[in-house]
Amino acid sequence: MKEYINRAEGALLHTYNRYQVVFDHGQGVYLYDTDGKKYLDFCGGIAVNALGYGDAELEKELIDALSDQIRKVSHISNYYYSVPAVEAAEKLTKAAGLERVFFTNSGAEAIEGLIKTARKYAYLKDGSNDHEIIAMEHSFHGRTMGALSVTGNPHYREAFQPMIGNIRFAKMNDFDSVMELVNEKTCAILLETIQGEGGIFPAEEGFLKQLRALCDEKDILLIFDEIQCGMGRSGELFAWQRFGVKPDAMATAKALGCGIPVGAFLMSQKVADASLVAGDHGTTYGGNPLACRAISTVLDLFEKRNLTAHVKEVGAYLEKRLDELKEKNDKIVDRRGVGLMQGLEFSEPVAPIISKCLEKGLILINAGANIIRFVPPLVITEKDVDEMMGILEDALS
């Protein structure tokens, strides 16, 4: 394993401080390194591998579907139609209750498309190019220049200035802070329905309803980033569905392809009719037959397994166990989250805890310096939660 790490460090650009482990394969909800050591996975590829790995029943069906598709054709140009793209588009728009979809390769690309959508929507109303977007502090939307511009953490942006202009930042769940920024040039309000990298902060129902009413009144686009918190992780297919506050447009990715690099942005018919047209946006790989076969199959498997109901049940158990741990450990400041997207905030940095857990065969990740994030495969059971808690408590002791 050390040899692989040395070879990687000799060839890969050093933009990640990687843990010193080389994973080889997965089975169920476990990953195995090249030395054969077994790890319980409560990271899920950062909320991507919702169906587990390898021999898990649902993952096997996805693998079979992808194998079938790659033997047919994996890519054609978007100048032509494909059956997988048609089927994926129909299923995803139905699931989201939004009429139009554009397929991308990643979540960041989906955010880029939504920024263009919002600005084109406003441009067609008054012909000006000085419209503003309100995003949230502590948000994270991706690393490309547009997505970075609406990411509410100055540290991520400072070395890459200037960003795209006319972006303002309000406070999550603070409607007054939004109102202080709204003006006649505001074209969109963008937020994660549950903030991920920023510390696992769910949007409150009242806040979302106030935003919806404001956007309706002023013809501002309400845009939700469901890249991490979507695809069943909250116990609903999309986290906004918990409250019935429907956006004008939204981004999704990560578990949308369960390991195949895919993303999408969706919008209402009203927005589609008054924004992007032929020539405004494009992608070489987005929406290719292989990616769309993954999307279509994943949506089928979510429905077949009734995975959102399972997440509600196991998520409630995970919350209970984490709350119990919080009561016993005075270094734990808070437990936040919804379903199988949970965070434990500590009064000190969590990197040593995560490293100790990795040594003991448990994969966890952080969300900020002081927060451990729990985003496991959605197919975990209460038994897996108990095993995770045993390792975590051992590491903490």
Tell me: do 214 and 282 sit in the same domain. yes
**Domain total for the chain?**
2
Evaluate whether residue 182 is within a structural domain: yes
Q: What per-residue confidence (pLDDT) applies to 55?
A: 64
The chain-wide mean pLDDT, for the chain, equals 96
Is residue 57 over pLDDT 80?
A: no
Give the largest CA-CA distance in the chain.
Answer: 62
Question: What's the Cα-to-Cα distance from 221 to each of 83, 111, 247, rounded to whole Å?
Answer: 31, 14, 8
Is residue 366 over pLDDT 90?
A: yes
Report the pLDDT averaged over residues 242-252: 98
Closest CA to 18 of 36, 40, 2: 2
Domain boundary among 305, 339, 361: 305
* Structure token digits, residue 48: 């991507």
What is the pLDDT confidence band of residue 56, given thresholds at 50, 70 and 90?
A: low
Q: What per-residue confidence (pLDDT) applies to 251?
A: 98
Evaluate whether residue 62 is within a structural domain: no
pLDDT in tens, 178-194: 999 999 999 999 999 99
Residues 6+ apart with CB under 8 A from 8: 18
Share of the chain above pLDDT 90, in %: 97
Q: What per-residue confidence (pLDDT) applies to 54?
A: 80
Q: What per-residue confidence (pLDDT) applies to 281?
A: 97
Tell me: do 109 and 160 sit in the same domain. yes
Q: What CATH number should be reported for the domain holding residue 81?
A: 3.40.640.10
Tell me: do 298 and 315 sit in the same domain. no
Taking the C-alpha atoms of residue 354 and residue 114, their distance in angstroms, rounded to an integer, is: 35
Q: What per-residue confidence (pLDDT) applies to 60?
A: 83
The pair phi, psi for residue 188, each rounded to 5°, is -160, 150
Tell me: do 252 and 373 sit in the same domain. no
Q: What per-residue confidence (pLDDT) applies to 59?
A: 78
Tell me: do 272 and 189 sit in the same domain. yes
Q: What CATH number should be reported for the domain holding residue 315?
A: 3.90.1150.10
Domain boundary among 305, 329, 362: 305
Tell me: do 25 and 110 sit in the same domain. no
Evaluate whether residue 68 is within a structural domain: no
Closest CA to 21 of 34, 12, 11: 34
What is the pLDDT confidence band of residue 309, given thresholds at 50, 70 and 90?
A: very high
Tell me: do 39 and 89 sit in the same domain. no
Residue 282 CB burial class (10 angstroms; 0-12, 13-18, ≥19): exposed
Tell me: do 287 and 315 sit in the same domain. no
Tell me: do 246 and 280 sit in the same domain. yes
Evaluate whether residue 91 is within a structural domain: yes
pLDDT in tens, 58-95: 778 899 999 999 999 999 999 999 999 999 999 999 99
Evaluate whether residue 127 is within a structural domain: yes
Tell me: do 253 and 243 sit in the same domain. yes
pLDDT in tens, 284-298: 999 999 999 999 999
Q: What per-residue confidence (pLDDT) applies to 326?
A: 97
Taking the C-alpha atoms of residue 43 and residue 307, their distance in angstroms, rounded to an integer, is: 18
Edge-to-edge strands, sheet with 23-27: 23-27, 30-33, 38-41, 362-363
CB atoms within 10 A of CB 320: 12
Tell me: do 129 and 278 sit in the same domain. yes
pLDDT in tens, 111-166: 999 999 999 999 999 999 999 999 999 999 999 999 999 999 999 999 999 999 99
Residues of the domain holding 52: 2-56+306-396
Tell me: do 29 and 173 sit in the same domain. no
Evaluate whether residue 64 is within a structural domain: no
CB atoms within 10 A of CB 29: 24
Evaluate whether residue 65 is within a structural domain: no
Domain boundary among 284, 305, 326: 305
Evaluate whether residue 310 is within a structural domain: yes
Is residue 199 over pLDDT 90?
A: yes
